[in-house]
Structure 1
Amino acid sequence: MAGGTGAAAGSTAAPATATATATATLTATTEDETVDPGSAAASSSTPTRTGSWADDLWARFTGTAVLRRRTEWILLGAVTLLAALLRLVGLAHPGFLVFDETFYVKDAWSLVHLGYEAKWPENANDSWASGDPNVYLDEASYVVHPPLGKLVIGLGMLLFGADNPFGWRIGVAILGTLAVPLLWLVARKLFGSPVLATIGAFLLAIDGHAIVTSRISILDGILMFFVLLGFLFVLLDRQDFVRRIDARILDWRRTEGAAAGRDAGGAPDDAAPTPIVAGTRAPAKRPGGPDWGPAIWNRPWLVAAAIAFGLASSVKWSGLYFLAAFCLYTVAVDAWERRRRGVTFWASAAVLKQGPVSFLLTIPAAFVVYLSTWTGWLSTTGGFYRTWADEPGNAWTGALAWVPRSLQSLWHYSSEAYKFHTGLSADHPYQSSPLEWPFLIRPTAFSYQYSSASDNAACHAELCVEAITSISNPIIWWSGTVAVIFCVMMLVLQPRWQLGPILVGVGAGYLPWLAYLERQAVFQFYAIAFLPFMILAIVYVLYSIVPASDAPRRARTFGVNATAVFLVVCTLVSALFLPVWTGILIPDWYWSLTHWLVGWK
């Protein structure tokens, strides 16, 4: 690995050119130019060799700004190409509706034609398999997820046809592929290193959970994409906000601040952070910043994040958890940055001054986006519960009587769907409690079909199987679980700003499910929404514990080699599991090799 702690290769802290210069200096002495170990030169002027073979290689390919930019594009392109190959090749296999495709694909097709999801006859799956998708009925179907994910699936069918599996799945596959370069950009922003960004994107590209939810048309991979997009915008907003509040407070101190806070030329001194106690009462000695600081309205990236999380919520309501969590995160960042700049009442300023502004920038935007995805349902009258408010005795009265009846009906629909979700108790053989998720106890088998040589010429064993199991690469998943625990510990012991957003993402995706432990129909594949954050936690561990590129060569080389071994092991395990992620025909004994735990059968 060419990146390490803080001063990772490719980061601003350790330019590759510096490594190249150091390497050239260290190798200038040939074997013929020996130095007496006891001489003064040997004891005082011989430098300690730093870096590793990977740093030397990195320096060769990034010696100039042009080479560096080209190398970054190559790395980004390589992981994107890998993701595309694993998600698009053989996408039409298997040629029948798999798992919850029986709901979402058919719902998507009727949705893009009628504006709402319709019921289907009992033999609808056979009609789909034979290439005849237009057998939906006019009667509305009761569905419990918002429309956007199904619109994505439906758009793919409109473009590539609903009479073939490729058309059913291409919309999901494209977003699943794009999630990989999206994670690259996120990791690049977090760690400042293209190498670490490539490692993170590579792990997502080869992970089975991400592959399966990109090749089968269910909603969870779409949800993950929009969550990750919102996270990128949150990071961009943080960067932009820090720049803007720096400029505004510096301008205040230059023009309005106390004279004691400026030098003889009128330039402001550096402000010391405000003591923690100053968030609740004024300190005895005034800090160097303003009392409250500015309220910043110009935050386009925050609005973009709200839109992205609104889109996530329009796929599944669990996207709301990410919207709420990251809105609170931006308030916490605001408070912290104000405190760093000497704002007296930094906490109350963040909550009471900037907080309402941020609320107005985010929640209305997210709500409008969410509502817009229901346009088809609202603009027609055939949808389930669509005319509920028009029925006698149902319309709201009093202060809410002004609300359009279509929205009243949508509210009723949503409340009934919420009751369905919270009260769902149907038993399923592959259900998995959220308490089991961190340990990968019970992954979800989407499909498996047995055959023998007598009924399948491609089977060259006594018994063969075509299986699709939504299971993460176990090495990546278990490493991610350990990495999240490590990040929680480091948040207490040695906090860095990257820890906050990573843990917020994991918490928003996982912790709310602990409130529904009594619900039975909960599955491991729901965890795809926070899988990218677990991978970022792995990258953070590498960022933290691998010695920096200016460390002694032996220590640096050991860390780089250990990272390389980890990536090789992950790759080999993914190669082992690939057939059970993509439905490739394999002997039954091979399938058994992938059953590492009892719950994986």
Structure 2
Amino acid sequence: MRQWLKPDVPGSRLMGWVGPLLVTLFAGVLRFWHLGRPRAVIFDETYYAKDAYALLKFGYEHNTVKDADKLLLQHPSDLHIWADGGSFIAHPPAGKWLIAVGESIFGMTPFGWRFSAALIGTLSVLILARVARRMTRSNLLGTAAGLLLAVDGMHLVTSRTAILDVFVMFWILAGFAFIVIDRDVSRARLARKIAERGDDDGLGPFVMHWWLIPAGLCLGTATATKWTGMYYIAAFGLLTLVWSMGARRAAGVRRPYAGAFAFEAVPAFVSLVILSLITYVAWWSGWIFNAGGWGRGRVAANPVTAFLQAMPRLWDYHQQMWHFHTTLTAHHDYQSWPWNWLILKRPVAFFYTQPSGCGAATCSREVLDIGTPAIWWVSIITMLIVAAWWLVQRDWRAGATLLGFLAGWVPWFYYGLNHRTMFLFYATPMLPFMVLSIVLALGLLVGPATAPPARRVFGSAIAGAYVLVALANFYYFYPVLAGQVMTYDSWHARMWLLSWI
């Protein structure tokens, strides 16, 4: 039975933390260095920074005056930015509450409203490095996964901007990590129980999946940040059921599918769906228990009555939000379609000015939300490799990576065909799975420990060279990711495609 249990990771457990922590430190330096620059309200920070500040002050999103952006930069604590009434919002409040944490600690400044995004982005590097290590059973490949995420341009920009997408990505990745842990732990528990008790009824023993509880909390929070999380609840719920069936079949259970449905389907549904729903509603507490929010009306003094009173109004609110999302077709200069995302056809300029001080007649300063081409373009190939690997060998790692990628990509095709306005950074939740596909492909290239030494040396050299290319590519684009002042010619040299301008 040992062959279907998780094999141990070669090397010391200490090294399994040293590498991931080092690349996380590196990611943190990149994300926090001059985080308050540019000192401006860039792109959609005009919505989320102010909405987060309103949550601190009122418990719900509040209308602001016309010149609120200017007032925030001139008088960070000025309460005169507020107009009358609650404002209609397009996304749930969880991500904005997290942005508000930074604002509560560091004030209503660019550093304050970007702090939580930088912290969350940094921690996501650690999570991916550890989950990649668990999936590949390699300290080196796990560290490589964290490093590639750390040097992706879109991950860096969304980690340095007060928008919601990096929060969605973080909670989806954290939920996925808990599900992968649950797979290892539950398979080991199933093996022990069968060894002790046998398989008398043909269904196998009951196994509790405790790690799915934090997974449900994370996926509920992802959905409470953006509704994108709903697709991952469905995808990962299906994934856990398939893994349970596979575990019972590998353990020799006579009726593995019936056993998985009988003992594991309902608890998994409760953990991943019901608990996610409870978590989602909990993030709306500020709106539920405070009068003044959009469509909220009066609030009863009794909290139970207030909650019951709020549910129909919250449902109405969600219908309005759904209508907004399904009818948003206004043209935007930086909009793009999901079938163009992987080739980075149309990135988003979050910020652009032409200041002085670069030593040339014309200078440029930009924050361009674009992925590192050496990562995104290569991931197209590696995702195809992973898909073929799963189709041929049904490897669980390839299947999980492919599913995580498709759950963040395919649903947008429906909206794209209906001309819904969308942007490249909507692909942020896909990014960890794109990196995982690269790392899995590198693992195939290097080969297992039993592979011929020549193959492992050659494969390791190619893998190492690729990581160096990705680092160099990121270094080259860094000035237009971090808003550095440069000559116009230097800026233009980095615009590899006309559609990037």
What TM-score bracket applies, with the shorter chain setting the length?
over 0.9
The answer on whether the counterparts of 1:389 and 1:408 sit within 8 Å (CA) in structure 2 is: no
- Give 3-state SS (helix, strand or coil) of 1:586's partner: strand
Q: Equivalent residue of 1:324, what SS?
A: helix
- The answer to whether residue 494 in structure 2 is matched with residue 579 in structure 1 is no
Q: Deviation at 1:561?
A: 1.3
Query: Are the counterparts in 2 of residues 422 and 519 from structure 1 also a CA contact under 8 Å?
Result: no
SS in 1 for 2:365: strand
2:446 maps to what in 1?
546
Structure 1 residue 180 corresponds to structure 2 residue 84:
no
Give the C-alpha shift of residue 492 in structure 1.
1.4
The yes-or-no answer on 1:128 pairing with 2:72 is yes
Matches within 5 A, 1:561-580: 561-580=461-480
Q: Report percent identity of matched pairs.
A: 34
Distance in 2 (alpha carbons) for counterparts of 1:402 and 1:386: 10
Equivalent pair of 1:224/1:528 in contact (CA under 8 Å): yes
Superimposed CA distance per residue, residues 254-281 of structure 1 (whole angstroms, 9 cap, x where no aligned partner): xx74xxxxxxxxxxxxxxxxxxxxxxxx
Residue 159 of structure 1 is matched in structure 2 by 105
Report Cα offsets for 1:448-499 as digits up to 9, x if no partner.
1113xxxx2x221121111011101001011112111111111112332211
Q: Stretches of 4+ moved more than 6 A in 1?
A: none
Question: Counterpart of 2:291?
Answer: 381
- What do the CA deviations read for 1:91-112 (whole angstroms, capped 9, x no partner)? 0000010000000001110111
Matched, 1:340 2:250: yes
Q: What RMSD in Å do the two structures reach over aligned CA positions?
A: 2.0
Write out aligned runs for 1:203-218 (5 A).
203-218=148-163
CA deviation profile, 1:158-178 (whole Å, cap 9, x unmatched): 10111x211111011110111
Instruction: Look up the SS of the partner of 1:92 in the other structure.
Output: coil
Amino acid at match of 1:225: F
Q: How does 1:307-456 map to 2 (within 5 A)?
A: 307-387=217-297, 404-451=308-355, 456=356
- CA offsets 1:334-367 (integer angstroms, 9 cap, x no match): 1111222233332233235421232123322111
Whether 2:391 is the aligned partner of 1:492: answer yes
Query: Partner of 1:139: helix, strand, or coil?
Result: strand
The structure with more helix, counted as a fraction of residues = 2
CA deviation after TM superposition for structure 1 residue 389, in Å: 11
User: Which of the pair has the greater relative contact order for Cα pairs under 8 Å at 6+ separation?
Assistant: 1
Q: Is 1:100 the equivalent of 2:44? A: yes
1:142 is aligned to 88
Structure 2 partner of 1:476 = 375
Letter in 2 for 1:106: K
Amino acid corresponding to residue 218 of structure 1 in structure 2: I
The answer to whether 1:291 aligns with 2:202 is yes
2:134 & 2:319 partners in 1: Cα distance? Answer: 39
Q: How far apart in 2 are the matches of 1:187 and 1:551?
A: 21
TM-score (norm 2): 0.93
Measured in 2, the distance between the counterparts of 1:358 and 1:471 equals 37
For structure 1, the residue ranges without an aligned partner over 5 or more in a row are 1-10, 17-67, 258-289, 391-400
With over 3 angstroms needed to count, the CA separation of the structure-2 counterparts of 1:338 and 1:525, relative to structure 1, is: same
Number of corresponding residues: 488
| CA distance, structure 2, for counterparts of residue 415 and residue 369 of structure 1 | 19
SS at match of 1:119: strand
- 1:593 aligned onto 2:498: no
Partner SS for 2:85: coil
Unaligned runs of 5+ in 2: 1-6
Q: Is the 8 A contact 2:239 2:400 kept in 1?
A: yes
Code of the residue aligned with 2:46 in structure 1: it is T
Q: 1:89 to 1:488 in 2, by over 3 A?
A: same
Aligned to 1:536: 436
Query: Distance in 1 between the 2:423 and 2:171 partners?
Result: 20
* Partner amino acid, structure 2, of 1:459: C
1:83 pairs, out of 8, 23, 27, with 27
Distance 1:557 1:127, change over 3 A: same
2:210 is aligned with 1:250 = no
Q: 1:468 to 1:346 in 2, by over 3 A?
A: same
Specify whether residues 70 and 343 from structure 1 end up closer, same or farther in structure 2 by C-alpha distance, changes over 3 A only. closer
Structure 1 residues 218-237: aligned runs within 5 Å: 218-237=163-182
Q: Which has the greater radius of gyration?
A: 1
